[in-house]
Amino acid sequence: MPETDKPLLAHLLRRAGFGATFQELDRYSQLDYETVVDQLLHPELQPAIEEDVLERYYIDWKESRNIEGALTESVYRMNAYAGGRPLQEKIALFWHGVFATGLAKVLHEKTMLNQIDLFREQGLGNFRELLVGLAKDPAMIFWLDNNFNHKDAPNENWGRELLELFSLGVGMNGQENYTEDDVQSAARAFTGWTIDDDNVTSFPFGKLPWRFRYLPDDHDEEEKTFLGHTGNFNGEDIIDIIVEQPATARFISRHLYNFFVADDVQVPAWQHTPPGDPEAIKILEEEYFRSNYDIRSMLDVLFNSDFFKSDRARFAKVKSPAEVVVGTLHLLGDFKFPKRGIFDVAMGCRYMGQDLLNPPSVEGWHTGEEWIDSGSLVERINFVADQVSDIQQPGVRAMVDALLDRMDELDPESVIDACLELLGHMRLHEKNKAHLAGEVRAMLAQRSGLVAGSPEDRLFAENTFLHTMKMIGSSREYQFA
Amino acid sequence: MTTETEQPVSTQGFYRYHDVIGLLSPAGPGFSGPVAVTTGPDGMLYVANRANPKQPDGVRVSRCTTDGDYLDQFGVWGEGPGEFIWVTDIAFNPQGEVYLADEHSHRISVFGADRQFTRTFGGHGSGPGELDRPSGLEFGPGGNLYVVDTLNHRVQALTANGEFVSKWGALGDAEGQFNMPWGIAIDISGDVYVTDWRNDRVQKFDAEGNFLMAFGASGGDEGQFNRPNGISVDADGDIYVCDWLNDRVQVFDRTGGFKDVLIGHSGMSKWGRTLLAANPDIERKLELAVQNIEPKRRFYRPVSVHVDGNGKVYVADCYRHRVQIYQKL
């Protein structure tokens, strides 16, 4: 069987995961593209990480007692799964951005991590079931005050955000998708959906888990009218009506496109700004209904589509901070076994502007170019440059060894091309590539450029590769997925 | 003593719940992720705290009476002399010196009976006397220190100054092989018991490392384990094993036959009572908690067990930041 197009596979793995090492691309290229997509869509068929080992060394993570510990746990897990179950982690990151819930208010790290587990386990499944799980999720209930949503004193926070930010969106095609009366009806339908033990502190013996509880006596049993339907609705009835709406299909399709294909305008602008690729969105909307709201089916269509595979979609997205941090760790092969130091590395996400488990608001993070400002850009470049030139990292060692094996003689263009390939079939703008070639040429002027010469020649070649990778890691292009 | 009058007994009736010492605290009276508990030659309780990565101040050894009166603490987080990062176990030599294992720096640190740092040995590697994430520590009757050398999948016997004496074990699941062993105990005749963590069993050797017996298998039934770690042997030869992911401590007779199981019956500790007296709002909230009984009383990741000469069984109940105490009947 001919080898599958590696640059295309690298593109797929950047989007459905956190990038791939050159060894992983070698393995994937022995399969046809559709088979690779299918594997990615079924992470549950791949081995789980060794949870016992993780808990043995990071003994506090099971019961994370601070925001930073929980953030670190998330980064470790994303990196540990980046090779075997990348889409499980990527879809969890996706839903965390859509259903943004934050520890600034929740203040119960384990409960927040349980919500991320919900996204891992159900994020590729049926959207209706995911919404029901979300409505019963203790972190979400607390985050949007549904524990204060009572029969005699409704609180509309959850009901409103369910419609505005989690399913329908405010509007589409210039029209509004729901009314204030719909918000009130939705809120009333979720009265009695609450949690246990949210008021218990960690003293004296640690925190207790929060749990969902339905209180029938606190549920509004009166008739409600919601999106043209009338009845004595409970929460699941509201979700049943929501998932049938064309606006929901549009909303989820745009989110998936924005996250997996190309940056779109920010969510609040969707009511009045049509999708950048309406044909692609139409295809995804049709699959949403055809598959009975199945996210896995939608992603199957998306990853196999021409609009995803097209050259236009390559490097069309600014990496999120989590993609920068986890993608770089995975490339380096670092922290695949618990060791100290992951905490400091994981904080990179925060310093780059994505405080995982603690988004700036229920609207989540603004993405695309809004990830970048002068401060976060410096953090990104420093983080990557420091890591990809560290020969002690197993992934860097493997790349350098591969380069030493491949090349007999060094010339600037071939060094750069080989490094770009090993770093994930990256591309550099011609102007940047010419500039980098000048740098490499200046280095090579110091010696013969023979790789297989003396030990000093070999060391010089290593340093040339490391310096080249460091400069590529510092480039504008590395910031794009 | 606990404020509770209830003194429940274990499943088979061989042990009675006695007391609890603990409180979540990064300093002073309280523990933060206790991973090792033992009694010293001074009759006091020594508890090593692992804390969490954001809480280096919580890394320490706490010393208190067995009735729960706080005395002092020693050791600080760090990589310098006398400091430690990932503490795993404590042991006393016959001279009363305190030995601490640190699986981050791959070394053993020694403190005098006055708890002042004196020396360190070990270092990362797989050669004789070198260590790769040491965990369990115990002194044999002959004065040698036995170290569980986890990622080298072996046990090493060293002198009290760290000079290599002998070693046994390699990665595997055959007799005498290990997969990330963790805890160690030595009985009065010098036989060595090791919790073979990822093989879900206990292996027994003589002092030279010759295999004697093994018991346990993976699972949650009586006599089965889910990643056993802390282990102790009492004067009668009964063997106590922290069955970590099953959240219990199992007791076996000298032949490895199942005898009893402890699941945790914690009441409120003396330190906890003091905290609540000063913070009535916390107590009010605790009383409102729907899940007030089960999760708070039971063991949650017990890591270390120690039996003293009076038949008191001390269990480091790691995620609940306390030591539960049972009395052998």
Residue-wise pLDDT for B51-82, tens only, equals 987 788 999 999 999 999 999 999 999 999 99
Least Cα distance to B158 among B173, B150, B148 occurs for B148
Helix axes A6-16, A295-303, angle to 10 degrees: 150
Mutation target vs A (from B24, B35, B87, B279; most A CBs, 10 A cutoff): B24
Label residue B2 by pLDDT band (50, 70, 90).
Answer: very low
Which residues in chain A are contacts of B276 at CB distance < 8 A?
A: 204
Alpha carbons A332 and A310: distance in angstroms, whole number: 28
Block mean pLDDT (10 aa), chain A, length 481: 90 98 97 97 96 90 81 93 97 98 93 96 98 98 97 98 97 95 98 86 80 96 98 98 98 98 94 96 98 98 98 96 98 92 93 96 94 94 92 96 88 94 96 95 80 80 94 96 97
- Residue B46, pLDDT score: 98
Q: Do A204 and B180 touch (CB under 8 A)?
A: no
Residue partners of A95: CB distance under 8 A and separation at least 6 = A119, A123, A130
ipTM attached to this prediction: 0.93
One-character DSSP codes across A322-373: HHHHHHHHHHHTTTSS--TTHHHHHHHHHHTT--TT--SSTT----GGGG--
- Residue B3, pLDDT score: 46
Alpha carbons B134 and B326: distance in angstroms, whole number: 28
Alpha carbons A355 and A345: distance in angstroms, whole number: 13
Q: Parallel, antiparallel, or unpaired: how do β-strands B83-84 and B76-77 relate? A: parallel
Q: Do A203 and B282 touch (CB under 8 A)?
A: yes
Count the neighbouring beta carbons within 10 Å of the beta carbon of residue B172: 12
Which residues in chain B are contacts of A343 at CB distance < 8 A?
A: 53-54
User: Looking at the partner chain, which of B24, B54, B103 has a beta carbon nearest the beta carbon of A203?
Assistant: B24
Tell me the mean pLDDT in the region B283-291. 74
**Percentage of residues in chain B having pLDDT higher than 70:** 97
Q: Do A201 and B282 touch (CB under 8 A)?
A: yes
Mean pLDDT of all residues in chain B? 94
B170 contacts B177 by C-beta, under 8 angstroms: yes
Chain A nearest-CA residue for B103: A57
Nearest CA-CA distance, residue A56 and chain B, Å: 10
Q: Which two tokens stand for residue B226?
A: 């889910």
Q: Do B24 and A205 touch (CB under 8 A)?
A: yes
User: Looking at the partner chain, which of A62, A213, A340 has a beta carbon nearest the beta carbon of B85?
Assistant: A340
B122 contacts B106 by C-beta, under 8 angstroms: yes
Q: Parallel, antiparallel, or unpaired: how do β-strands A175-176 and A171-172 relate? A: antiparallel
Q: Which two tokens stand for residue A30?
A: 């022995």
**Percentage of residues in chain B having pLDDT higher than 90:** 88
Tell me if chain B has a CB within 8 Å of the CB of A206: yes
Number of residues in chain B: 329
Alpha carbons A441 and A449: distance in angstroms, whole number: 10
Instruction: Please report the sign of the dihedral spanned by the C-alpha atoms of residue B10, residue B16, residue B22, residue B28.
Output: negative
Give Rg (Cα) of chain B. 19
Tell me if chain B has a CB within 8 Å of the CB of A138: no
- Residue B231, pLDDT score: 98
Residue B241 main-chain phi, psi, to 5 deg: -130, 125
Mutation target vs B (from A50, A52, A56; most B CBs, 10 A cutoff): A56
**Helix/strand/coil (H/E/C) assignment for every residue in chain B:** CCCCCCCCECCCCCEEEEEEEECECCCCCCECCEEEEEECCCCCEEEEECCCCCCHHHCEEEEECCCCCEEEEECEECCCCCEECCEEEEEECCCCCEEEEECCCCEEEEECCCCCEEEEEECECCCCCCECCEEEEEECCCCCEEEEEHHHCEEEEECCCCCEEEEECCECCCCCCECCCCCEEECCCCCEEEEEHHHCEEEEECCCCCEEEEECCECCCCCCECCEEEEEECCCCCEEEEEHHHCEEEEECCCCCEEEEECCCCCCCHHHHHHHHHCHHHHHHHHHCCCCCHHHHCCCCEEEEEECCCCEEEEEEHHHCEEEEEEEC
Give per-residue burial for B269-295: e unless 16+ CB within 10 Å, then b.
bbbbbebbeeeeebbebbeebeeeeeb
Residue-wise pLDDT for B28-47, tens only, equals 999 999 999 999 999 999 99
- Residue B288, pLDDT score: 73
Q: How many Cα atoms occupy the beta-carbon half-sphere of A272 within 13 Å?
A: 2
Nearest CA-CA distance, residue A209 and chain B, Å: 9
Alpha carbons A208 and A201: distance in angstroms, whole number: 8
Alpha carbons B87 and A332: distance in angstroms, whole number: 28
> Model-level pTM?
0.94
Which residues in chain A are contacts of B135 at CB distance < 8 A?
A: none
User: Looking at the partner chain, which of B23, B52, B286 has a beta carbon nearest the beta carbon of A65?
Assistant: B52
Which residues in chain A are contacts of B53 at CB distance < 8 A?
A: 58, 60, 68-69, 72, 340, 343
Q: Do A66 and B180 touch (CB under 8 A)?
A: no
Q: Which two tokens stand for residue B286?
A: 């605790």
Alpha carbons B241 and B315: distance in angstroms, whole number: 10
B53 contacts A60 by C-beta, under 8 angstroms: yes
A264 contacts A258 by C-beta, under 8 angstroms: yes
